[in-house]
Structure 1
Amino acid sequence: MTEARRSDKLKSGLLISLAMMALIAWLSPYWSIAGLIRSATLGNSYEFSEHIDVVSLRESIKGQATAQLTRNISSKSASGFEAFGSALGIMMVDKIVDQFVTPAALSSAIKKSIGKSGAEQLPTRIALTVRLLQRGDVRWSSANIVYVGSQDLGRFVFRRSFLSWTLVAIELPPDAFES
């Protein structure tokens, strides 16, 4: 009888452990995104930089900018000056993105967009996580990729690194480079 009881306890303990692990894995992107928002708003660029992969983020923005500028050159409606400006832009996009896409610059941009009053009234990380869950902004692409935002307005791409998530790309809206 004790052997059967011990086996049942072991099975139920294992099921509870598996359920907890699944819940933690499912909540982990929300928790990481809330940490990114909180650290940026508080101006903690060191903690903020732990939530982003700067190299991947820069490459994503460079690729999108270069692709759009290349389309501008190849479009039949582009004048000579537009084509020349796009070609010049292609040559400069690497340096411009490298200069402006830094943890400190991104953290500062987020902090400025929220404003001073937003930083003073910033909810806890748990409250931010709950808010993300309620709004439904996070979309799973696979077990290792989640998107925050929409394709029409632009979205952030996060990649799993065990239980933490890092920002690896920003997908700009389709009309981001149009004047």
Structure 2
Amino acid sequence: MSRQIFSQRTNRRLVALAVGTAATIYGGSPIFALADCGLALAQGNGSKVSSYIDFPALRSSLKGEARQVALYRLSGQQQPGANPLLGLANLVMGPVVDAAVESLATPDGIRARVSQQADQNPRAADSPWGLAQLLASTSMGYSSPNRFVVRLKDRQQRPLALTLARQGLVGWMLVAIDLPPDGRFEPS
């Protein structure tokens, strides 16, 4: 009898341990993805960084953001609707901005940018956890069960938000970037 009770307790503990482990992996999966992507970025591995990006979704997001930045810079105002000529500027600039996003937000574009960044900062690969300084001005969390948002601030306190979407049970991909109004972001 005592052997049966011991076996039931052990089984309950094992089930609780398995459920707890699964919940931790499921809930923490965006952090694991960010860490892996950050390590790939620090090592200059553009192919791996690209594997964490949903390019059609990212391009769609960036087109709207880039148009807003272009209008902001053109007008010097945060409210593009304040000047009726900005609508005309948007019509003229829109296709140019969209074409630029289409050519830059590609796997080849990301690989080239990551490689260029690694060449400019070769010591980054020596300390992949050098992201700690950047993460000090970062907040992150779930915005829904399948969306995770990372909010960063640069040295001027300008915001940048990265939105990741769940892919399967534990996979995550970058689907949107919300730029500061002026489009500038200078990490500390």
TM-score normalised by structure 2 residue count: 0.73
Distance 1:104 1:42 in 2: 17
Deviations 1:134-163, CA, capped at 9 Å, x for gaps = 745322212221111248421111111221
Cα distance change, pair 128–144 in 1 and its aligned pair in 2 (3 A): farther
Give the match for residue 38 of structure 2.
Answer: 37
Deviations 1:23-51, CA, capped at 9 Å, x for gaps = 11232111111211222332322222211
Give the match for residue 28 of structure 1.
Answer: 29
Give the match for residue 58 of structure 2.
Answer: 57
Q: Say which SS state the counterpart of residue 88 (structure 1) adopts.
A: helix
Q: CA RMSD in A?
A: 3.2
Give the match for residue 88 of structure 1.
Answer: 92
Cα distance change, pair 29–76 in 1 and its aligned pair in 2 (3 A): closer
1:160 maps to a residue whose letter is R
Q: Say which SS state the counterpart of residue 175 (structure 1) adopts.
A: coil
Q: Is the 8 A contact 1:146 1:158 kept in 2?
A: yes
1:103 maps to a residue whose letter is P
Instruction: Return the match for 1:142 from 141, 144, 148.
Output: 144
Say whether residues 1:160 and 2:161 are aligned partners: no
What are structure 2's unaligned runs of at least 5 residues?
Answer: none
CA apart distance, 1:97: 0.8
CA apart distance, 1:113: 4.8
Cα distance change, pair 113–147 in 1 and its aligned pair in 2 (3 A): farther
Q: Say which SS state the counterpart of residue 141 (structure 1) adopts.
A: strand
What are structure 1's unaligned runs of at least 5 residues?
Answer: none
Moved more, 83-92 or 105-114: 105-114
Alignment of 1:99-178 (within 5 A): 99-110=103-114, 112-113=116-117, 115-123=120-128, 127=129, 131=132, 135=136, 137-150=139-152, 152-161=158-167, 162-176=169-183
Distance 1:167 1:64 in 2: 15
Deviations 1:81-106, CA, capped at 9 Å, x for gaps = x6554321112232211101123323
CA apart distance, 1:107: 4.2
1:159 maps to a residue whose letter is A
Cα distance change, pair 150–122 in 1 and its aligned pair in 2 (3 A): closer
Distance 1:169 1:69 in 2: 18
1:40 maps to a residue whose letter is L
1:30 maps to a residue whose letter is I
Q: Is the 8 A contact 1:69 1:87 kept in 2?
A: no
CA apart distance, 1:110: 4.6
The percent of aligned pairs where both chains have the same amino acid is 22
Instruction: Return the match for 2:101 from 97, 101, 107.
Output: 97
